[in-house]
Structure 1
Amino acid sequence: MKMTKYSHSCVRFEKEGAVLVLDPGNFSEVDQALESADAILVTHEHADHIDRERVLPILAAAPNLHLYAPPVLAGSLRGDVAEDVRTRIHDVEPGTAFDIRGIAVRSFGFQHALIHPLVPVVENLAYLIEDGIYHPGDSFTVPHGLKARTLLVPIHAPWSKVGEVIDFVIACGAETAYPIHDALLNGNGRGVVEKHLERFGPMYGTQYVSLAAGESVEV
């Protein structure tokens, strides 16, 4: 399967003609990521994970494109589109499995990581793609029994610190980890975080591989 990282948390998967895109947010190259897409998966409602102003017009213009999101977010999105588009916006409950044109998806339900007690906590879904590629959204929770070979690790966020990023990589135990949630880092900050992951990941069996926006790998 081909995986292309876009800016921040947006990731595109391509398998045998099927295209699945996760978290096309307002820091990402939405139009490029969603070109010829079959489905959009959204982890939670924050704008850096779904850019409503750009995503919903694309969804309306593509009659075969479907969007999957946590129930509260999905309901809100249906209120912003025409009636004929609403049937293509789907609620995803935690702990479900479904198939998108031959691409297997499993969902895990957690809350968004705590930013501050004054900031409301929202629904956050993590997704396991093809039983091996784990996108946690904005959470460091590791599902019981998770055996992901590939981890998409949020390397920087208002809700995290570097030690927690390292611990998350160790806890998941994936063979390979790639960065997501990185748009707020400048070059110096990114270098600091990635140096730690490149050092400590292999001690626990995980190779950390940096990816730039637009770069693709086979996973």
Structure 2
Amino acid sequence: MRLTKFGHAAVRIEHDGTTLVLDPGTWSQRESVDGVDAVLITHEHPDHYDAENLRATDAPIFTIGAVAAQIRELAPDVAERVTVVSPDESWTIGGVGVRAIGELHAVIHPDLPRFHNSGYLLSVGEETVFHPGDAFTVPGVPVEVLLAPVCAPWMRSSEGVDFARAVGAPRNVAIHDRVYSAEGLGVVDMQFGRLLGARGLDYVRLPDGADL
């Protein structure tokens, strides 16, 4: 398996001739979608979904109903490539198994409406990779690699650490890291590394374009 970080929440997975990209939003690089076999989108926020990135590929798009509705309204030229998925639905894309996990975005503020969100659990050879989107939904099965959100308007770093501990993945790769300054990310990296390391869990934050 080859896992490449492409800015903020966008992660590209390559395995046995199949290439997927998750959440190529406005803060991710356009090359994240080059040559992919499928695009998976967790929810409608622009840091996870960008119509221009979808137009840069002819790959099928898998996402939730709320994103599909936005695509039909704002990017109808790609709407025919969209498949709507439901919580706990499973399917395969080439040699990769996919399962939709969860239904709701984390609470941003009690006065704001809840958005829908689907995480994606990927079966990649002998390993599982979990991208939660903007949610703290624990998949309830063993995970080898967690794509762990580290900073957001809807979370404290302690919540992110506790979520990663609850998932219990041996390897944790930071995502959702465009919100803080470089100085703030230094503090977060120290906290995640120290607190997850105390449980025997590895933590890394990859530079854009770097592979795991």
TM range (shorter): over 0.9
Instruction: Confirm or deny: 8 A CA contact 1:43 1:70 kept in the other structure.
Output: yes
5+ long unaligned stretches in structure 1: none
- Structure 2 CA distance for aligned equivalents of residues 55 and 198 of structure 1: 32
Q: How far did residue 165 of structure 1 move?
A: 1.2
Residues in 2 aligned to 1:105 and 1:56: alpha-carbon distance in whole angstroms: 20
* Structure 1 position 151 matched with structure 2 position 137: no
Q: Is the 8 A contact 1:157 1:181 kept in 2?
A: yes
Q: CA deviation at 1:105?
A: 0.6
Checking the alignment, whether the CA contact within 8 Å between 2:9 and 2:25 is kept in structure 1 is yes
Give secondary structure in 2 for the equivalent of 1:104.
strand
CA distance in 2, matches of 1:190, 1:72: 31
Q: Secondary structure at the match of 2:102?
A: strand
Decide whether aligned partners of structure 1 residues 56 and 169 sit closer, same or farther in structure 2, where only a CA change above 3 A counts.
closer
Q: Is the 1:78–1:89 contact (alpha carbons within 8 Å) kept by the matching residues of 2?
A: no
- 2:21 and 2:181 mapped to 1: Cα distance? 25
Aligned equivalent of 1:28: 28
Which of the numbers 113, 130, 133 marks the counterpart of 1:134? 130
Question: Which one-letter code corresponds to 1:10 in the other structure?
Answer: A
Equivalences for 1:30-69 in 2 at 5 Å? 31-52=30-51, 54-59=52-57, 62=58, 65-69=59-63
Cα distance in structure 1, aligned partners of 2:90 and 2:49: 22
Distance 1:140 1:67 in 2: 23
Matched, 1:201 2:199: no
Deviation at 1:146, TM superposition (A): 2.2
Runs of at least 4 residues of structure 1 off by over 6 A? none
C-alpha displacement at 1:76, in angstroms?
A: 2.8
SS in 1 for 2:108: coil
The two structures, once aligned, show a CA RMSD in angstroms of: 1.4
The question of 1:124 aligning with 2:117 is answered yes
C-alpha distance in structure 2 between counterparts of 1:150 and 1:56, whole Å: 26
- Is 1:215–2:207 an aligned residue pair? no
Instruction: Determine the C-alpha separation between the residues in 2 that align with 1:66 and 1:57.
Output: 11
Q: Output the TM-score relative to the length of structure 2.
A: 0.93
1:78 corresponds in structure 2 to: 72
Deviation at residue 185 of structure 1 after TM alignment: 1.6
What are the superposed Cα offsets for residues 140-167 of structure 1, whole Å, 9 maximum, x if unpaired? 1213x22101111000000001111111
Q: CA deviation at 1:17?
A: 2.2
**Partner residue of 2:7?**
7
Secondary structure at the aligned position of 2:91 is classed as strand
Q: In structure 2, what is the Cα distance between the partners aligned to 1:151 and 1:86?
A: 30
Write the distance in 1 (CA, Å) between the matches of 2:192 and 2:180. 15
Matches of 1:112 and 1:126, distance apart in 2: 10
Output the TM-score relative to the length of structure 1. Answer: 0.90
For the residue of structure 2 that corresponds to 1:124, the secondary structure is coil
Aligned to 1:172: 167
8 Å CA contact 1:56–1:81 kept in 2: the answer is: no
Q: CA deviation at 1:55?
A: 2.4
